Structure formats: C-alpha cells, structure tokens
Amino acid sequence: MQHREYRFSVSLLAAVALVACGSESGSDEAPQDAGPGGPADAGGADVVTDSHVGLDAETPDAGCLPPNKICDGKCVASSDPDYGCQPDTCEPCPQLAWAQMGCANNECVLVSCNAGHSDCDGDVTNGCETDPDTLDNCGACGATCAIPNAQESCKEGVCTIESCDEDWDDCNNNPVDGCETDLRDVANCGACGEVCEPNASCATGTCQTNG
C-alpha cells in the first residue's frame, strides 16, 4: 500500500512540472498578426494626402498667372475695366455717362462713347456729355450749323435746311450755300426759275409790267 502511494506522488509531481514548463515556453511565442488595420499593422499604414490641400485660386497651381488676377473667386485680366486696371486690386472703373471704359497704363480711361453722344469738353468725369445732333455740335464737337438765309436743324449729324427765310429759296438744292436765291429777282420772281418778261420788274414775288 505504501509503495502504491509513493508511485502516485511521483507521477503527480512529474505532471505538475510538465505543465509549468509548457506555460513558460508559451510565453516566448510572438504575438499573432492582428491583420490589416489591427495594432500590428497601424505603424506601417499608408497616409493618403491631397497634394492640393491648402492651395487656392491665388496660387500658380490654379493657373491664374500675371498679368491676370483673382477677383470674386475667378481669374480675370488685369486690363478688364469691370475689375479695375490695377494688378493688385479689384475695384471696377467708374461707370461714366454714355461711355465705354478701358485700361491704359494701369489707369481707367474713356475708350469710346455710345452712339448719339460725344465727349466734347474733355472732362472724363462727366463721360460723353454732348449730344452730336445739336446746332452747336452737329456730327462733331464744335461743328455748328449756320446756313445762310435759312432756319436750320441737325439730323443724324448733318446740318439741314428746315425752311428758308422770307423771299429766299434753295434753288440749287445745296444746303451748303443755304437759301441762296433771292425771290425778288426777275430771274426767280416769287419762285425758282420764274423769269419775268423783258422790261418787267419783280415786286412782292410777282412780275410787274412797266409802263
């Protein structure tokens, strides 16, 4: 009986020692790979960055290079009067009366006038202030209408005869010399080409026989 108990004790001690050795050897094993996205993979993960992050329309990468400039979030020409003529500002050129604006030497300038108006006083601040269909500025600044013996007008930039003064007429249909014909003359008595008989006179637009 004593021999059997002794053999059982030896076997039990051997089993305990074997279990202890197995635990120690298992602690030396490397941890398993946690797989993509796990702790073992985090240190080597690729970081995706956008090469354009932080760039805006004012950078050369946006394609807006001098002499262009950025205004209202878009690339515009420095010579566009709607955004001013300075390379570093976007303040538009002033809107002048009946005028088209442009840029010259980084300054806002009056380029042309709208149809029916002219800049006759040379003052840019009041734009194209003159109507070129007036007697004092007919078709051009300072071109006055002064037709002899006539009441004149300016139509589409041309001086024309509205009517002739009393006893005068435009017999040659040439407005340049106005109403050139005296209707009190025997060669045109009362009307163009109305010739009186020899020895007759012209009075109040009619031929008068003398004697």
Query: Whose structure tokens read 């059997």?
Result: 4
- Flag whether 141 is in a domain: no
Q: What is the pLDDT of residues 139-183, one digit of tens each?
A: 999 999 999 999 999 999 999 999 999 999 999 999 899 999 999
Region class of 182: left (phi > 0), else alpha (psi between -120 and 50), else beta: beta
Is 49 part of any domain?
no
Residue 187 in domain: no
Tokens of 115: 């149809």
Dihedral angle, C-alpha 74, 56, 62, 101, nearest 10 °:
30
Q: Is residue 2 a part of any domain in this protein?
A: no
pLDDT > 50? residue 138:
yes
Rounded Cα distance between 102 and 98, Å, is 14
Domain residues for the domain of 94 are: 63-130
Q: Are β-strands 181-182 and 168-169 bridged in parallel, bridged antiparallel, or unpaired?
A: antiparallel
Provide the number of structural domains found in the chain. Answer: 1
Instruction: Note whether residue 85 is domain-resident.
Output: yes
Strands (E), 42-183: 68-71, 74-77, 99-104, 107-113, 150-155, 158-164, 168-169, 181-182
Residues 33-91: tens digit of each pLDDT = 444 433 333 333 332 222 222 234 344 435 899 889 999 999 999 999 999 999 999 99
